[in-house]
Structure 1
């Protein structure tokens, strides 16, 4: 009876979760449903997976619509029909050139772009059925697989229609979009959000009928009692649809063969593995050879050979293009991956847990997360799409978040912005709200988690044996890569395992730094940035780690990591590997970060570990640090099989936490512990640690891969700090704002210079120790102006004066103002205020066209400018306006010189005492106590340029708030823990800044301008 049902994947239209749809059907005794979301197949596979659990036979299809106007419904007779429907739908979901962002494109997917309008009549596709809405159908003829869908409100009309004599072409069309009145109200709100209109002004044409709810089969049959043939036709049509997918995941559905011959695949993998031994090991010992043999056997047995070879091919291409990359994830536990140069982590050296990488019980292949520079990833993605036939990116469901929902619904209900701001911050008493405002809160919570639009997974790519459309329709985001309509969880359910091609700026920094050293210090030998073995022994790097002087370095520069390195006294590779995972939120939340630090520093503390836990994890003193530890504890402590233990680990990520299979494994863990006589309190405590930890921890191989990249950046920071800071600035910085990396370069002896017309480019450059900030740092300077400046200078040489610049570069007065105010013309030796006056007289407000070089240059009139010298303080405020920060010491901008002598170097002698110190704000971390009260961690710089770390507990945080960038006077108790010094703040205030000297004595300057303009007019008339 149900040929047209919607879930909330009918974006901003449907309101029913797929599971709720099935549960409702089961309660009503329905045994077959056709899921037909609007222009979407996002829910289809998950629906098909869950349907048998509810004793329901699923039928899959699509409701093709232009906006809310239903054109037709297509149902798949079988899997081939579903393939054809997906291909057909995908042909409409192509890129819309008028849409700028992926969010806008995806949000428009339920409407479809105008050039992709769905026609009134569908294309006849094999193995499909087509149902047109009876009320709007204009034709007279239907093909064999076409039908008209009759709604209850159409029955009376049908009695007087010629179609009553052709009942064999009619079926019942009971649309289901919501479950009840609340669902209908929610639907209307979603439609108002989608149309960006007030609820009261939402047209009826943009809404569904209130009757589009789930009725029982008896109610439908009773309504169509006068036309029993329609009941029969509908049931027959559903009976003829039979679609099935294998969700057992026994065999991956990724591309099954790399060479189109599985035996040849294995011979190639074996050849590559043994061929890589010399590069990695020289002369291998028996442990290496035994590990290779064991891994090859299991990889072949599990059908993962092509998965390894595809990764190998991708990275072989990357090396041919000299792209930097880091291979991480659980696959880094594999010696085969190490030999194929997929990763740079030696699993034998690190004693990585083989069963985390792969075991006979594991059905999915290991994770290979391949990081590339953000500049190189798009080319890698294009290579993959060129090289492999059935390829697509994976989508993510961007859902309604509570705060965003409050704002959207506040607008829909017409609330004023001020009131919406209060509601979105949660700063209200629900009992005092009026009825309308309460509705905003109630429905905001209700739609929280609803899919809002489709986005793109950070790096997931599918390479399938069958066409991607066998499983899903695809849409085309602006970058032009086909993207699935389901996410990675659904992909894994069907046996499609993603290849993770990710980007990060850390690799860009390393690559660029090597190139910058090459041009700035050509006398030095080439850098071998991959000589990790040497880096591990380097004393300079050890010193940076011990003292946490790692600003700009990958993964080790944040305040939390900086403090952890000091607490753990890290100065070697294995210590950094552990720290990379210990810093993860799961370890801290479980309370085991502190315990690990205690056991690391105080060996006698290790005796407190449970003997079983200590035996399982001797390297980490019985503390779970890595993802492998979850498997080990679940297997050896909880008695689970390796397959069950891996399911437990995966379930902890949150993706499968509600799945029945996960809940069964959890119960098995407790049952096994009880049966083996373990105390219940101990079992509960171990489970608490697992639960709070596992979803956030790294695999050890993953941490080891991160540590390799950290060592590369630490090496560059140790030996080439200025070049490395320039590379950091040119790659968007890191954890901190660019200002801190400018400060760090200055601390290492660099001279920081503002952009210069004759030396600067879009990016920052270095000459010796002089660092010229790039034009790109100037917030309001247009890219086209930057390109004109650099191309003209490269073609015709340096500029010799302001006149020369204006003659050669077409530029508006607003743009040249920016350059002059930043002292970019300082090579002229003239005061920038004079240059500003002159530019105003000689430059048009709007640039019309590019200057054309002529035989004779036009002589420009020279004007005598008034004497208006500028000061260094005025320069500082120009820099704050245009760069976002001053290039001078910010402490120089205080109205009165400070007499406070306290610096970071003095704090240790004040341990346990109250001090007051002044600091320039660097960063703030918001967090909350266990009872949900807000608190902060602050990072400041003292007058010497060294870090002050502060803790702001809830009571103080509420009373003394941060007031933006600037210098603060901080009062609090000095606390020293594990060699780390911090201040527990009891009072804090932001100090004032001197009055902006550019706007002092405004009237005097205004009169000067007026007099100057009068003189210009007189001179012009005389000329």
Structure 2
């Protein structure tokens, strides 16, 4: 029997509960590491389910495409009952299609907006359609849900949570069965089997993964100590009891879980077909006046700008470059993108707000004619393909700086013209600087503060 035959005889498996280092101070591996490891182990799919976040999904998507691995977009979210009940409901929410991804994104945004920086507050009311402005999210019709039961939960609590899940998600709901070699797991499994029989919700195998390999446990312990503000030596039972929360081999998984629980992972994965490749910019229509197409209006604005920039007439080199750029823009259908940026810049200039386009957009004669940039392409060798390329097949990046004191005026203009439901601010993800990392790790390891400062 060949090695391939032996490998193929092992039960197939899709990991549905996995966080990365984008769950800050909780996950100990990068999304790329998790994807590459899952592919190497022959997993059928991997769900990235960071804590109330989709921040790591782009990196995971790029890595999954390179590895040929089916990536599932999801998130792990703790829900509070708005009646003040102490019981928290932890769910894995997995997007099945583009609508589900949008619903999950909106839910995460609402939960983050309720709390301070780095925190979130999700409510059961959000999933029941009782939260103001979120009624359309009732039951998250584009998502599947997996209940992650607390290890210490009583049978009554588990049954109550499962029945709630069944009522709102119906045939899109499961209960997680997680085998991490803890002493209380056998008792919990008995309770889960009872809940499954009472509600009809199937059990599904999950790994509660926080690292791609077991050797990352010391790093995870350090992250936990930093999060708790306590040296590793004093963390005690707050640390993981073993290193089982890594991407385990399929052989090991097959030894731990009943075959039916493994088959459920594949059934779930088969229903989660959404890919980030489906996302496209949806440009506003109101930037094009009646009687014009986006291409016609962009050409007209560019010609007006060329007359303004070159009162004595544009050089032949510039005119040829304009035609080249407009042709490439039309092929990629990026006219609305340029028109939107032009609209924002025009507003800023009309209000006397200082603004300046920069970066690769300076290689574009069209951007210069539209007033987005101030670098005259006639005075330089234009490298437009650095700005837009057929091969990249993605919209160009136009960076525009607005004076800090009046930036809010520009933001409010966008809200007024395009609506808050179609306008968003891009967030940045907090990451460690080397000195901060050295200080926090040193404290977690109990190193003398004076020595830490010497090194940092």
- In 2, the alpha carbon distance for the partners of 1:351 and 1:121 equals 55
- In 2, the alpha carbon distance for the partners of 1:359 and 1:239 equals 35
Tell me if 1:125 matches 2:140.
yes
Aligned twin of 1:35: 48
Aligned twin of 1:88: 107
SS in 1 for 2:416: helix
| Matching residue within 54, 58, 68 for 2:71 | 58
SS in 1 for 2:428: strand
Aligned twin of 2:281: 253
- In 1, the alpha carbon distance for the partners of 2:389 and 2:211 equals 45
Change (3 A) 1:283 1:5: same
Aligned twin of 1:188: 221
Number of matched pairs: 404
Change (3 A) 1:362 1:256: farther
Tell me if 1:386 matches 2:401.
no
Aligned twin of 1:273: 302
Change (3 A) 1:380 1:164: closer
Aligned twin of 1:231: 262
The equivalences for 1:448-847 within 5 A come to: none
Q: Shift in Å at residue 94 of structure 1? A: 0.6
- In 1, the alpha carbon distance for the partners of 2:189 and 2:240 equals 24
- In 2, the alpha carbon distance for the partners of 1:276 and 1:411 equals 59
Aligned twin of 2:209: 176
The equivalences for 1:76-155 within 5 A come to: 76-94=95-113, 96=115, 105=117, 108-109=118-119, 112=120, 116-119=121-124, 123=128, 124-134=139-149, 135=151, 136=153, 137-139=158-160, 141=163, 142-143=166-167, 144=170, 145-152=172-179, 154-155=185-186
- TM normalised by structure 2 equals 0.78
User: 5+ unaligned residues in a row in structure 2: which ranges?
Assistant: 1-12, 81-87, 129-138
Q: Shift in Å at residue 30 of structure 1? A: 1.4
Q: Shift in Å at residue 392 of structure 1? A: 2.6
Aligned twin of 2:9: none
Q: Which stretch shifts more, 127-136 or 389-398?
A: 389-398
Cα offsets for 1:97-143 (capped at 9, x unmatched): xx5xxxxx2xx23xx3xxx2555995521021111123433515223
Cα offsets for 1:240-276 (capped at 9, x unmatched): 22122328x9xx6362754398962222222222223
Aligned twin of 2:91: 72
Change (3 A) 1:397 1:291: same
Aligned twin of 2:4: none
Aligned twin of 1:331: 361
Cα offsets for 1:159-207 (capped at 9, x unmatched): 4653363565222222111244432221121122122222233363575
- In 2, the alpha carbon distance for the partners of 1:422 and 1:375 equals 39
Q: Does the CA contact (< 8 Å) of 2:307 and 2:314 recur in 1? A: no
Q: Does the CA contact (< 8 Å) of 2:36 and 2:64 recur in 1? A: no
Q: Shift in Å at residue 313 of structure 1? A: 0.9
RMSD over equivalenced CA pairs, Å: 3.2
- In 2, the alpha carbon distance for the partners of 1:359 and 1:319 equals 29
Q: Does the CA contact (< 8 Å) of 2:19 and 2:50 recur in 1? A: yes
Q: Shift in Å at residue 217 of structure 1? A: 2.6
| Matching residue within 413, 422, 428 for 1:396 | 428
The equivalences for 1:196-215 within 5 A come to: 196-202=229-235, 204-205=237-238, 210-215=243-248
SS in 2 for 1:322: coil
Aligned twin of 1:321: 351
SS in 1 for 2:26: coil
Q: Does the CA contact (< 8 Å) of 1:4 and 1:173 recur in 2? A: yes
Q: Shift in Å at residue 308 of structure 1? A: 1.8
Aligned twin of 2:450: 418
Q: Does the CA contact (< 8 Å) of 1:71 and 1:121 recur in 2? A: no
- In 2, the alpha carbon distance for the partners of 1:360 and 1:52 equals 20
Q: Does the CA contact (< 8 Å) of 1:72 and 1:121 recur in 2? A: no
Q: Does the CA contact (< 8 Å) of 1:63 and 1:70 recur in 2? A: no
- In 1, the alpha carbon distance for the partners of 2:89 and 2:435 equals 32
Change (3 A) 1:217 1:244: same
Tell me if 1:307 matches 2:307.
no
Q: Does the CA contact (< 8 Å) of 2:214 and 2:246 recur in 1? A: no
- In 2, the alpha carbon distance for the partners of 1:149 and 1:120 equals 22
Cα offsets for 1:666-724 (capped at 9, x unmatched): xxxxxxxxxxxxxxxxxxxxxxxxxxxxxxxxxxxxxxxxxxxxxxxxxxxxxxxxxxx
- In 1, the alpha carbon distance for the partners of 2:298 and 2:196 equals 66
SS in 2 for 1:190: helix
Q: Shift in Å at residue 408 of structure 1? A: 0.7
Q: Does the CA contact (< 8 Å) of 2:214 and 2:245 recur in 1? A: no
| Matching residue within 258, 262, 272 for 1:241 | 272
Q: Shift in Å at residue 5 of structure 1? A: 1.1
Aligned twin of 1:554: none
- In 1, the alpha carbon distance for the partners of 2:123 and 2:237 equals 21
Cα offsets for 1:325-377 (capped at 9, x unmatched): 33333323333323222223322244544544546556445543323322222
Higher relative contact order (CA 8 A, sep 6+): 2
| Matching residue within 282, 286, 289 for 2:311 | 282
Q: Shift in Å at residue 62 of structure 1? A: 0.7
- In 2, the alpha carbon distance for the partners of 1:236 and 1:27 equals 21
Q: Shift in Å at residue 25 of structure 1? A: 1.7
Change (3 A) 1:81 1:260: farther
The equivalences for 1:420-439 within 5 A come to: 420-424=452-456
Larger Rg, first or second structure (1 or 2): 1
- TM normalised by structure 1 equals 0.37
Cα offsets for 1:800-848 (capped at 9, x unmatched): xxxxxxxxxxxxxxxxxxxxxxxxxxxxxxxxxxxxxxxxxxxxxxxxx
SS in 1 for 2:378: coil
SS in 2 for 1:38: coil
User: 5+ unaligned residues in a row in structure 1: which ranges?
Assistant: 100-104, 425-1023
- In 1, the alpha carbon distance for the partners of 2:345 and 2:75 equals 39
Change (3 A) 1:373 1:77: closer
- In 1, the alpha carbon distance for the partners of 2:239 and 2:40 equals 31
SS in 2 for 1:211: coil
